[in-house]
Structure 1
Amino acid sequence: MRKKNRNKLAVMLSAAMLMSALPGTAFAESATNPAQAASDAAGGASSSSEGSAGQIETEAPVDVAITKEKAEALARQYVSIPKEYTLQGASFSMDVLAGGKRNAWGLDFVKKANGKHVGSIYVRIHADSGQLLEFSSYTNNPSAKPTYPLKVERDTAQEIALKFIAAVAAKYEDQIQYNPDYGAQLLPPLTGAVTHHIRFDRIVGDIPYVDNYIELQVDSEGHITSFSLQWDDTAVFPKVDTKLTPEEAGAKLREAASPQLSYIVPHNPQGVRKPMLSYDLQAIAIDAVTGELKGSNEHYYRAGTVSETPVSEKPLGEAPKAGTVTEKQAVDAVKAAFKLPGDAELSSSNYSEQHNEGTGTNEAYWHLGWTIKKDGKETGSAHASVDGRTGAVRSYYIYYHSEQAGGNQSVTLEQATTLAVEAVKKHLPWLAHELYLVKPHPDQYKDIQPGEHTQYYLSFVHKVHGATAEYDNVGVAIDSRTGDVVNFDANISSFAYPAEAPALISKDAAVDKWMDYYRTQLTYRLVQQFTWNGQPIPIEKYKVMLAAGEIDANEVKTSTEAELVYRLVPKLVEESVFLDAQSGDWRNRETGEATQLEKPQAADIEGHWAQRQLELMVAYKALDVKDGKVRPNELVTRGELIKMLVLARNAGRSPILYGAADGAEGKASFDDVASNSSYFVYVESALEQNLIDIGDGSFNPEGKVTRDEMAELIVRALGYNALANYDYIFQSNFKDAAQIANKGQAAIAVGLKIMSLSDGKFLPKKQVTRAEASVAFFRYLQSRADLQEAPIRM
């Protein structure tokens, strides 16, 4: 809604100026009585000239209760805008609501220093009531740095948000309910640069209306950086005497659920990527009173509906054999496939080869271009891509600089569809039984007049054994006057699929799994109602009748009403997942690795001296949990330690390797950490970042780690390893200094309180436990935040 359809009344602020961080307490203190502030402004309070230098003084041509000057006065009271922030721009806009409209002022305040923008605050004020609708702020302060762990956790941020709401939107206090799911981070943060997203949903008769809410952002220092009141006071909610129970609704939703099969290709950093079968289930909703499914459960794709049957029942030919295709053969293939004008001149030809690491195959392509001339003048061009191994045309496109004569014929959508299907049969005969036409919606080309020159775009979905290959697509464009194919694009991957359909879990079993993923939510939602000749008509029928010209849009009355529904809403899950249609396991959508919706809890760390740090490592899977135990007092392995370090440096995300995995071979740098090892990506990433050395070519992932080795690893991660080699500049009084190989590193680790001494001894040969390693890396995160260097200002 922000800044939408604004009419500019003054010089507007650059889009790059966004938000500033001012203490939330300052905001709350400045608006202890916002109702009084609004009343004062509406009664004639004028903005102070103080802090308004540079403002363009104009009288806004609008008739509302709150003038621009009053809106500025309110903004400065609500948000406590410092006087050095001047009003840079103002805009007036109107929002359409369910039963009316809302006028609003948008105000941009800017702070400048030495001619540069160093801060900005945007405020939106209701132009009739004076209510604060929105604010956001930004300060360019490169010297500010976050601390770790967070000073303000999410529960405290919630309290700060409630205090601010009480100050600026008190009338809504008893109509909202905290939404614990929105913006929640299931994984504890590994950095102090965190903003808490807090939302309070509107409650109507004990039922949430989740499309209305109050949302705030609170940073880890406790500053409110944004506020948004998304609320429609004109919405009318129906009185509901009876409704389905949650159990009845769950049964109805389960009955309506229809999982769809699809192939997806998770990213595999360890070698060749392989398609995996997934059962997908989109969230659906039912009427909370009748249990009727709301909306269509048809499978829509792009701008149409996927046909239930393929282009042909069986393959219409064999796939072309791989070989070597010459330029002449590539050119002949294009000329044989499409109506390339006879006077077209070949103007460009390029051949390229590449190894596709994702599929493990070698690919080659001819990229060809033609210039089309008439009477010696260039009138158009054509381009094509041909598979350099098989000679199959992958893409074709022809373009004319000016409209060409096309005769008197006019191709209908139905005729264009037939032509597109025939083109697919001709150019992809070996795939015709796996390609499904996407039928365009009836009104997509309703405005085309007879003889008008345009193009029909038809697309096809690739299905293998009934499962949609989401990464493949085929598109055909047909000229509406000539019926010629003017664009053909066959983006079909070279993945290998099983000859026979694999055994799958049942659809009922898939639904059971997905019902564990979703939760059932009772809520209101707004829907448009259409009435024609005094009778209500469904939106689908309205669109069809309008497209067919059976009704005039001006004859149809529209209204917006609220309806009560039960709907499926995803539960909080740490990662993006998919359901393996063959095994029934949940898998990570990015990596394809097996996972769980609910992570196992370690039963042997409750009350442990390193409980918090161990929980952090377990949350990020840096330490595994076996049989419900994390085994904190066991010795940590080299593989586990490297995984901890890389995750810590990468904010908890698994690293992406560039060039470490070599296609099908999955070539590894160390002879004892193969590409299928769970440590592979972490060890290779550590090597790329110069955290470890190649040495003799072995890594020994299951080997144990001494305190001496861990100190060097941590100091390398901090970027001080070269400095640590000058150990004589560090003051250290270790009793066992003579036994320490890495004295400078030990001194830095101890000096930063990442590692500690025992009776004055560093104990360099002592092997590190899983708990000790967890604590060390937690302290590493703290030190990394403390050591963040601010730039020197000259």
Structure 2
Amino acid sequence: MFKKLLSLTVGLSLMLMLSGAALAEESRITNQEQAIAKAKELLPQLIGDKQLSVDFTEDDYRGTGVWNLRSSEERPVRLPLANRLYISLDENGSLLSFNYFDSSLQNSGQKLIDRNRAQAIAKNFLAQMKPHILDQIELEDITYNPYYYRSYDQGMFYTFRWNRLVNGIPVRDNGVTINVDAMSGQITFYDVSWDEQATFPAPGNNIKNPAEISSIVLENLGLYPAYRINPADPSGTKIQLIYQVNSQLSTFDAVTGKPVDSQGNIREFADVKRFKQTFSPQIGGQAALPEYHAKGQITSEKAQQIAEEFFKKLGYTGKVVHYGGGSSVGPGYHIELWDYSVALDPEGDPYGDRTVRVSIDTASGKIIGFQNQSERYTVQGTKTVTYEQAKAIAEQFIKQELVLPYPVALQKQDIFMESGEPYYLYFVRLVHGIPCDLGSITIQVDRNSGNVIGYHTHPLSFTIDAPKRIISPQEAARIFKEGQFYELCYIFPYNKEQGKNKQAQLVYVVKDYGLDIDAVTGKVLSWEIKNAATGIPENHWAAEPLRLLGENGLLPAKEINPDEQITRKDALRVMGSLNRYYYPDKLELKFTDIKPDDPDTDILKRAVAMGLLENQGALRPNDPLTREQLVVWLIKGIGYHEVASLPLKIETPFKDIPPEHPHRNSIAIMAALGVFVGDKDGLFNPQQPVTWAELATVLTRIAPKLNQRYY
């Protein structure tokens, strides 16, 4: 069956691709009917008899008009977006992108396509769609985000990204991305970004080298210590102390070494510094404790009183009304909000003038946000407030009105402000004398009146221990200078009025889209995470499933031992990330051995919502996971629990699973689906601990069933 599916997929790819040759020579699409006809010509079997909705947009970034086509058939509410068909064509009928995943083409237990075969399928598709670019691209050595960043469901797939090269230099944001499903061989995602009319300056002898750029950046901007969330941590609550470049911009001119903004303008170093002050970290001392405790709820009467007192304090008169609510979500917190507005006009909206409003935390009663949009563009007099004046106004507001119990520092972001908009002043908390943008405050000051017209606070939601040691600024500078963090590339400047500039610009950018230095160990840190399975031996029996899970962001960022036993929580982390179902915001975990601030709370809530776990008793998260328990969880995950609970005995091939075994039917179903097999003696070994290799193998076999279930 697998061979038939693969043959069908490859054949389909060939048919689709052959129809796409010489697209650039075809006539311009002028209406919806032509767009649908062209899409069916390019992707006939993929579209079939699907009904398509069509709209046209001007895409300034792509530099072309775009026809967007979507399938409009009825789907279950929780169907992953990937199971809908999305196609985009440029105005000349060339395929820009499509996104579609048909989970019905997958069968549980079928053999995986290896990465080499998947790459051949992807390259064949590309050769038919864009034959003229094949000698201008280079396959990227992909880095991977850790599993908790997996944001959509397209089964398990291989990703291939080809970057454009001109004069041997990479072109940022020009290239091709293709995803190939590892089960069926179908191409599930295709996207090309290619500026056909662009011009590229040849690199001259005056181009600086990476070492010179590093020295210039270090001398003129320097490094500063900061706290950030560790991107390799699945909970999103682990803090790292780092050194990073003191700059609002990360792009530098290849000739002068000066900062370059998104519009291609060369800026002065003094204008782009993030902080004007220097910082002296405090070693040892007290930990910074979290502010946020999501317990209980104030009464609506109390919230009304808080809102009335706030508006009165700021000089607003009128009836205060409750008109709605929402939530504020960030690392380690989810705050439910009630919104209140003041009726400035007695004859106006009975729910108040919603341009003047406050947001109140329903648990603590704190006002975390205020907005007065009615004054935003109102000119009062002829005086224009300067940035320095706005800074002083914001600092005074923090001191008198917010009365914060901790020091803050202003992080400059003025180079991104439009001239007609209010000033946005972004203050970060100082923790142990170190900037920490977890627990920040944004204040808006009207540049005409000087009034504070808005603010929003973000709580610090977890503990930050005081550092025990930190490398010196001199040591950090040495590591930075030796690290060669920058690479030469072409970029396209962009502005709102003119769109993307077709004249490319030679600049230096940070490698891997972001690099920092661990301020404790001195290790260079990348924002992109390497696949944890890249170290798996080629001859390991589970090498392919492990690499596939790693490529899909379903393994922890750390390198793993494939034959190491996994814990129950290890397995739940991976399974909870395999399918992005939803869970109610109000869901509370009731496990007796899981603390409210457990870093894996979200994963466990997903497992409960999916039906894998009963929300009670002891979870025993650190116990080894047995084969028997994994079967039970998977049966629930694919929706077969009721079948397995029927009062009958399903035949099983395993000698050590007697008729009276409590999970006999579940084990029998998994065996029938080809997900679990026995050992050489025909034994299932229900109490045997599961290893990473076994988990990867089982999950790649069961993934189609998990993908076909709607939550």
TM range (shorter): 0.5 to 0.7
Question: Which residue does 1:756 correspond to in 2?
Answer: 677
Q: Structure 2: how far apart are the matches of 1:437 and 1:736? A: 65
Instruction: Measure how far apart 1:427 and its partner are.
Output: 2.4
Picking from 395, 400, 419, the partner of 1:426 is 400
2:226 to 257, 262, 281: 262
Alignment-derived partner of residue 436 in structure 1: 410
The equivalent residue for 2:6 is none
Relative to structure 1, the CA distance from residue 431 to residue 118 in structure 2 (aligned partners, 3 Å threshold; closer, same or farther) is closer
| Contact 1:622–1:643 (8 Å) recurs in 2 | no
Amino acid at match of 2:410: Y
Q: Is the 8 A contact 1:157 1:196 kept in 2?
A: yes
Alignment of 1:112-511 (within 5 A): 122-124=88-90, 126=92, 133-137=94-98, 143-145=104-106, 152-181=113-142, 193-194=155-156, 197-216=159-178, 218-220=180-182, 221-224=184-187, 226=190, 228=192, 230-238=194-202, 240-241=204-205, 243-244=207-208, 258-264=222-228, 277-281=241-245, 284-288=250-254, 294=260, 295-296=266-267, 308=277, 334=310, 337-340=313-316, 344-348=317-321, 370-372=342-344, 410=383, 412-413=385-386, 419-428=393-402, 434-436=408-410, 444-445=418-419, 456-457=422-423, 459-464=425-430, 465-478=433-446, 480=448, 485=451, 487-489=453-455, 491=457, 493=459, 504-510=470-476
Residue correspondence of structure 1 range 511-660 to structure 2 within 5 A: 520-526=486-492, 561-570=503-512, 581-582=519-520, 599=532, 607-612=539-544, 630=561, 632=563, 636=565, 640-641=567-568, 643-644=570-571, 647-651=574-578
Helix, strand or coil for the counterpart of 2:648? Answer: helix
Which one of 717, 739, 746 corresponds to residue 667 of structure 2?
Answer: 746
d(CA) in 1 for partners of 2:409 and 2:630?
56
Q: How far did residue 243 of structure 1 move?
A: 4.8
- Give the letter for the 1:723 counterpart: V
Residue 25 of structure 1: CA displacement?
Answer: 0.6
Structure 1 segments unaligned to the other structure (5+ residues)? 1-19, 58-67, 127-131, 311-323, 448-454, 529-538, 540-552, 590-594
1:782 aligns with 2:701: yes
AA in 1 matched with 2:12: P
Give the total of aligned pairs.
Answer: 651
Is the contact made by 2:490 and 2:504 (CA closer than 8 Å) also made in structure 1? Answer: yes
Q: Determine helix, strand or coil for the equivalent of 1:744.
A: helix
Going from structure 1 to structure 2, the CA distance change for 1:334 and 1:699 (only over 3 Å counts) comes to closer
Please say if residues 87 and 107 of structure 1, whose CA atoms lie closer than 8 Å, have aligned partners that are also in contact: no
Change beyond 3 A, Cα 1:373–1:284: closer
Please give the alpha-carbon distance, in whole angstroms, between the structure 1 residues aligned to 2:654 and 2:72: 53
Shift of 1:166: 4.0
Q: Is the 8 A contact 2:224 2:278 kept in 1?
A: no
Q: Structure 1's 200 and 630: CA in aligned 2 closer, same or farther, altered over 3 A? A: closer
In structure 2, distance between residues paired with 1:327 and 1:92? 44
Residue number among 24, 27, 41 corresponding to 2:16 in the alignment: 27
User: Following TM superposition, by how much is the alpha carbon of 1:279 offset from its aligned partner in structure 2, in angstroms?
Assistant: 3.3
Q: Which whole-Å CA distance do the structure 2 matches of 1:686 and 1:193 have between them?
A: 18
**Counterpart contact for 1:133–1:228, Cα < 8 Å:** no
Alignment deviations for residues 589-617 of structure 1 (CA, whole Å, 9 cap, x no partner): 9xxxxx986859778x6645455556678
CA 1:587–1:523 in 2, change beyond 3 Å: closer, same or farther? closer
Letter in 2 for 1:208: P
* Structure possessing the higher radius of gyration over alpha carbons: 1
- Kindly state the Cα deviation for residue 239 of structure 1 after the two structures are TM-superposed: 5.1
**What residue ranges of structure 2 are gaps of 5+ in the alignment?**
1-8, 75-82, 261-265, 280-297
Q: Which protein has greater RCO, CA pairs closer than 8 Å, 6+ apart?
A: 2
Check 1:191–1:151 CA distance in 2 against 1; reply closer, same or farther (3 A cut).
Answer: farther
1:45-72 CA deviation, whole Å, 9 max, x = no partner? x99xxxx9xx889xxxxxxxxxx8xx99
Structure 2 residue identity aligned to 1:27 = L
CA separation of 1:296 and 1:522: change in aligned 2, threshold 3 A: same
**Distance in 2 between residues matched to 1:578 and 1:385, nearest whole Å:** 35
The normalised TM-score by structure 2 is 0.65
Superposed CA offset, 1:455-500 (max 9, x none): 954535134125143541142445846x6x3635362636699999
Give, as a single letter, the amino acid of the residue that structure 2 aligns with 1:748: I
SS at match of 1:785: helix
**How far is the alpha carbon of 1:26 from its aligned partner?**
0.7
Deviations 1:730-770 (A, max 9, x none): 234655554862332333333334333457753657x4255
Which has more strand, going by share of residues?
1
Residue 426 of structure 1: how far off its partner (Å): 3.2
CA root-mean-square deviation? 6.6
Q: Is the 8 A contact 2:137 2:165 kept in 1?
A: yes
Percent of aligned pairs with the same amino acid: 15
Aligned mates of 2:136, 2:234 — CA distance in 1: 52
| 2:155–2:703 Cα contact (<8 Å) kept | no
Residue 748 to residue 477, structure 1, CA distance change in 2 (3 Å): same
Is 1:420–1:478's contact at 8 Å kept on the other side of the alignment? no
* TM-aligned CA distance change 1:775 to 1:133, over 3 Å: same
The one-letter code of the counterpart of 1:750 is: A
Contact 2:167-2:202 within 8 A present in 1 as well: no
Q: Which whole-Å CA distance do the structure 2 matches of 1:83 and 1:326 have between them?
A: 59
